[in-house]
Amino acid sequence: MRLLVTGAAGFLGSHLSDRLLAEGHTVVGMDNLITGSLDNIRHLESEPRFELIEHDVTNYIDIAGDLDGVFHFASPASPVDYLELPIQTLKVGALGTHNALGLAKAKSARILLASTSEVYGDPLVHPQPEEYWGNVNPIGPRGVYDEAKRFAEAITMAYHRFHGVDTRIVRIFNTYGPRMRPNDGRVVSNFIVQALLGEPLTVYGDGLQSRSFCFVSDLIEGIWRLFESDYTGPMNIGNPTEYTVRDLADMVLASIDTDSEIRNHPLPVDDPKVRRPDITLVRNELGWQPEVSLEVGLERTIVYFQELQARGLLETPPVLTD
């Protein structure tokens, strides 16, 4: 197949491109590099079945030739990114998804939308099943990302129902692994980078808020199975094992030789208190469940950041404020 990956130079988009190429397909990558990095796809420069088009998907997308599938992964995706880029986040969720759907319709291609657990907001139901409609503050600082993805899901289903476009929607829960940006503000990369630099680990609130961490290879496996399946509705993919943020901090400190200590900061506005996927649907429909434990995944991720440190590429992550 010939497949388009928007956001191909990003953390997830680059790993997805690798997987699609490994399956024997041809990949057209698209990225405006606003949060993506060419370093993530540098190893594909000599790959004849991969090409990168530098383009902003909020503008009309035109791809010459046949296209069998579209993976729409373009979007700022960390709190630091979408708080600094609120308008761009809303535009890529709305205009970018509209353009990706229009291209899929024109090419009679299947499209998979990368949605997020953030559509559940600060959930009142735990764990979160696909049937839960969420608890989102549409005018809060995180609303630009939450509502962009909720709109993206809505227009995707509208194209499916009205135009008959072959759609898939994945709701991605916290994912980590190599190629995360050192300064993107996500908790796993924050803690590892801070520990390697000997700086205090930033814990927001009391650290008892929970998260569930899925290693990137597990996530990509689930996404590929979803794309190949016949399931058109939203599907959670993530690791259902739940940890507190304080648990994660302690694990990182135990894994790295560092003098870092934990420093508490005020909890950001609308920060979710709990986050854990109900993966009953993906288990039943796709036979998928995560295989990489947090202990093993952290080891692999730490090695990646140690390599960046050796190259002088680590910088202090930003601290979120209200």
Q: Are 63 and 134 within one domain?
A: yes
Write the CB contacts of 214 (distance below 8 Å, at least 6 apart in sequence): 173, 174, 175, 176, 237, 238, 239, 290
Query: In terms of Cα–Cα distance, which of 127, 144, 146 is closest to 135?
Result: 146
Q: Are 170 and 40 within one domain?
A: yes
Query: What value does the mean pLDDT take over residues 299-309?
Result: 98
**pTM for the predicted model, two decimal places:** 0.96
- List pLDDT tens digits, range 104-127: 999 999 999 999 999 999 999 999
Dist. CA 103–CA 107, nearest whole Å: 6
Q: Are 54 and 79 within one domain?
A: yes
Catalytic residues: 145
Write the CB contacts of 313 (distance below 8 Å, at least 6 apart in sequence): 182
| Domain membership flag for residue 54 | yes
Give bridge partners of residue 277 from the DSSP assignment: 128
Domain count, the chain: 2
Confidence of residue 321 (pLDDT cuts 50, 70, 90): low
Q: Is the pLDDT of residue 182 over 70?
A: yes
Write the CB contacts of 184 (distance below 8 Å, at least 6 apart in sequence): 11, 35, 78, 80, 81, 317
Q: Is the pLDDT of residue 76 over 50?
A: yes
Q: Are 225 and 250 within one domain?
A: no
Range in 75-84, 175-184, 232-241 with the lowest mean pLDDT = 75-84
Q: Write the CATH number for 299.
A: 3.90.25.10
Write the CB contacts of 146 (distance below 8 Å, at least 6 apart in sequence): 118, 119, 121, 134, 136, 137, 138
Q: Are 190 and 232 within one domain?
A: no
List the structure tokens of 227.
Answer: 């794309």
Q: Are 122 and 195 within one domain?
A: no
| Domain membership flag for residue 246 | yes
Q: Is the pLDDT of residue 154 over 60?
A: yes
Domain that holds residue 206: 176-212+240-276+291-310
| Domain membership flag for residue 282 | no
